[in-house]
Amino acid sequence: MIPPLTQPPAPDPLWQLPLPLEPELESAPAAPLAEPLPPELLAVLRRRGYADGAAIEALLRPPAAPAAAQHFPDLKLAVARLERACRQGEMLAICGDYDADGMTSTALLVGVLQRLGAQPQAAIPSRQSEGYGLNAAMVERLAAQGCRLLVTVDNGISAATALARAEALGVEVIVTDHHTIPAERPPLLALLHPECTPAGSPYRGLAGVGLAYVLAAALAQQLKRPEALQAALDLYCIGTIADMAPLTGVNRRWLQEGLPQLHRSRLPGLRALAQLAGLEDRVIDSQAVGFRLAPRLNAVGRLADPALAVELLTTSDGDRALELAEQCEALNRQRRDLCDGIEAEAQALVEADGPQRPPFLLLAQSHWHHGVIGIVAARLVERWGLPVALLAGEGNGCLRASVRAPQGFAVDQALNACADLLERFGGHPAAGGFTVRPAAVAPLQERLCALAGQWLEGRNSALLVAPEALLPLERIDRDFYRQLQRLEPFGVAHASPLFWARDCGVRRQRLLRGGHLSLELEAGAGTLPAMAWRWQGPAPSASRLDLVFRLRSDHWQGQERLQLELQALRPSQGQAAVLLRRQRRYLCHREGTLLVIRNPEGQELRVAWAEGAATCQDAALTHPDTAQLVRHAAQALGLAA
């Protein structure tokens, strides 16, 4: 029995308010929007680089996808080979990965190819016994079963040994993958990869399931069978959001088309999964996919045979779908319990090292389940703001690790700098993994700590919270939330806006079971609920708070309500604020209609500020730095977005 988690104190996050917008950027868009957006949302988009109304309209209504054959050089070759397989009823294998992207990709192609006359079978390696990607043993097994054609999804480009074995056995391979292309291209029949598209292509951000969708759509078009694509867009939506693909280009367009229909999916498995996730008969947005549906699928790949998920997503039998969805639900509960237990042990190890934290947290226990250590590593990053590696036993005398890191620390570069100490490694800037021998763990930790220490140099806190716009609570209502939804879908490269509000009154607060903090906040004449998930520490003692939050829609006792999802809070500074600019500290406060700014030498600048004005009204302030300081002070005091 794992003891209750005793939380060591977490560092206070550093608040980094957004820089004030230049006056010309605070005005209406150069090209008027078809329907105006609230100023707070315009401020968010301005800070994200959307400079005019035309750019914002393109975000709200992205253009249709261009012809895929003009962007993927090998698409026609791949379609021609699959057309032959469909017309001849050929047996082939769809070789996927065990995460949600890989499983939805596999299910998408299996379903479409079955409807088009081929005999596809799913082939996904075991996370526990085989590891990631196509391997030579799989190729030999499938060839022995009579497969002369393999299609990889979400893997394959780095499987040089397996592809060479396929060539030797006379097995053709179509690779669809979005991972890094090696310097020497392995033998294959055709390759669909985002990096093979022209620079600036709207297909550049596709995950594995997006490439599977491109291939399936082109094949259905070639065979003049558009009905074969039924529900393919549903699977595309799940896999794209689950894999945290950037929501730009065709991803944005297809998600806008697919998400509103997802709750009416023709796939019994998706309907059953949504029912058990509490999403039945409710429009499913990107947040619901990312936090409700995707984890239930990922739990299968982490703890069990991914064939379960593929069958769930391809079966036409409603009763069987519900049975399989219940198995996914049970695995997800098991996954949560495993994560909670490993997190408790990991936190205990952190606390045992005393109050000082190393710049890189490397923790190892041979009995940890390597199917879930990545989730726990991400939780520790969120708590401490430091890069984290969790190591578990691999069963062959080595340790297998999952690495997660905050923005700014490049995991792939750090692992590359430690290559001589590692057996295998890979990843991207935010996450990665490696295998290491026990004897190399100590020097590895020393080197990673040195790299993280350099990254942390000069920072006041490892944790940083950076809201994008001021949003007073009295501005939040149903109409504002409707306008916020116009910016959907949210995800990587287009996150849900992070707002801040100052001097918020607290009506009630309580710590909930599971370590969550619930607040009831004053909002004009009414109140707004707020929730800080996995809150660390006691309930705040101050009766007025500054908040950083995202705005969500929550269902409570059958009713939909707006709720703040808190990212950070601090005692309110009242009518005062402290600014740090160029290593100098400025004290700011209001005196009636005056804005007063005091520099470190005690000199004061007193400026008349018209309520609601976007810029300083004092014509004497002509120096750009002084004008920006005034706008920054007004923003910190809640006078500008």
Tens digit of pLDDT for each residue in 410-421? 998 999 999 999
Residue 571 makes CB contacts below 8 A (sequence gap 6+) with 540, 542, 544, 545, 546
Structure confidence at residue 10 (pLDDT): 58
Mean pLDDT for the stretch of residues 200-227: 97
Mean pLDDT for the stretch of residues 291-296: 94
Residue 330 makes CB contacts below 8 A (sequence gap 6+) with none
C-alpha 127/C-alpha 112 separation (Å) is 26
Residue 314 lies in a domain: yes
Whether 205 and 320 map to the same domain: the answer is yes
Does residue 340 surpass a pLDDT of 70?
Answer: yes
Structure confidence at residue 538 (pLDDT): 73
Domain end, chosen from 571, 590, 612, is at 571
Q: Tokens in use for 520?
A: 């009831």
Structure confidence at residue 615 (pLDDT): 46
Domain enclosing residue 226, as ranges: 68-331
Phi then psi dihedrals of residue 555, to 5 deg = -105, 125
Lowest-pLDDT choice from 209-223, 352-366, 550-564: 550-564
432 or 197, higher pLDDT: 197
Residue 347 lies in a domain: no
Residue 425 lies in a domain: yes
C-alpha 111/C-alpha 124 separation (Å) is 16
Residue 151 lies in a domain: yes
DSSP string, 104-128: HHHHHHHHHHHHTT-EEEEE---TT
Dihedral sign, Cα of residue 84, residue 88, residue 93, residue 99: positive
Whether 260 and 180 map to the same domain: the answer is yes
What amino acid occupies position 540? Answer: P
Structure confidence at residue 139 (pLDDT): 94
Query: Are the C-beta atoms of residues 275 and 282 closer than 8 Å to each other?
Result: no
Whether 113 and 215 map to the same domain: the answer is yes
pLDDT category of residue 609 using cuts at 50, 70 and 90 = confident
Whether 549 and 597 map to the same domain: the answer is no
Whether 139 and 287 map to the same domain: the answer is yes
C-alpha 305/C-alpha 537 separation (Å) is 39
- Taking alpha carbons only, the member of 125, 134, 231, 143 closest to residue 177 is 134
- Taking alpha carbons only, the member of 136, 142, 129 closest to residue 156 is 136
Residue 4 lies in a domain: no
Render pLDDT for 12-47 as a digit per residue (tens, 0 to 9). Answer: 778 888 888 876 555 555 566 778 999 999 999 999
Whether 114 and 225 map to the same domain: the answer is yes
Q: Tokens in use for 9?
A: 């104190």
Q: Which CB contacts under 8 angstroms, 24+ apart, belong to 168-171? A: 169/139, 169/140, 169/143, 170/143, 171/139, 171/142, 171/143, 171/147
Mean pLDDT for the stretch of residues 590-595: 82
Residue 345 lies in a domain: no
Domain end, chosen from 412, 438, 457, is at 457
Find where tokens 């999952």 sit.
Answer: 402
Domain holding 264: CATH number? 3.90.1640.30
Query: Are the C-beta atoms of residues 108 and 210 closer than 8 Å to each other?
Result: no
Whether 205 and 87 map to the same domain: the answer is yes
Lowest-pLDDT choice from 202-206, 502-506, 576-580: 576-580
DSSP 8-state assignment for residue 203: T
Whole-structure pTM value: 0.87
Residue 342 lies in a domain: no
Does residue 407 surpass a pLDDT of 90?
Answer: no
b or e along 68-89 (b: 16 or more beta carbons within 10 Å of the residue's beta carbon)? Answer: beebbebbeebbebbbebbeee
pLDDT category of residue 311 using cuts at 50, 70 and 90 = very high
Whether 397 and 484 map to the same domain: the answer is no
Whether 392 and 442 map to the same domain: the answer is yes
Whether 307 and 373 map to the same domain: the answer is no
Domain end, chosen from 428, 457, 486, is at 457
Query: Are the C-beta atoms of residues 114 and 217 closer than 8 Å to each other?
Result: no
Domain holding 504: CATH number? 2.40.50.460
Render pLDDT for 87-142 as a digit per residue (tens, 0 to 9). Answer: 999 999 999 988 899 999 999 999 999 999 999 999 988 766 666 778 999 999 99
Whether 271 and 134 map to the same domain: the answer is yes
Q: What angle do CA 582, 586, 589 make, to 5 degrees?
A: 145
Residue 1 lies in a domain: no
Mean pLDDT for the stretch of residues 411-439: 90
Question: How many structural domains is the chain composed of?
Answer: 4
Q: Tokens in use for 304?
A: 């069990």
DSSP 8-state assignment for residue 61: S
412: left (phi over 0), alpha (psi -120 to 50) or beta: alpha
DSSP string, 140-157: HHHHHTT--EEEEES--T
Query: Are the C-beta atoms of residues 369 and 342 closer than 8 Å to each other?
Result: yes
Query: Are the C-beta atoms of residues 465 and 13 closer than 8 Å to each other?
Result: yes
Whether 586 and 566 map to the same domain: the answer is no
Q: Tokens in use for 100?
A: 């949600």
Mean pLDDT for the stretch of residues 495-502: 95
pLDDT category of residue 4 using cuts at 50, 70 and 90 = very low
Mean pLDDT for the stretch of residues 428-438: 88
Structure confidence at residue 181 (pLDDT): 86
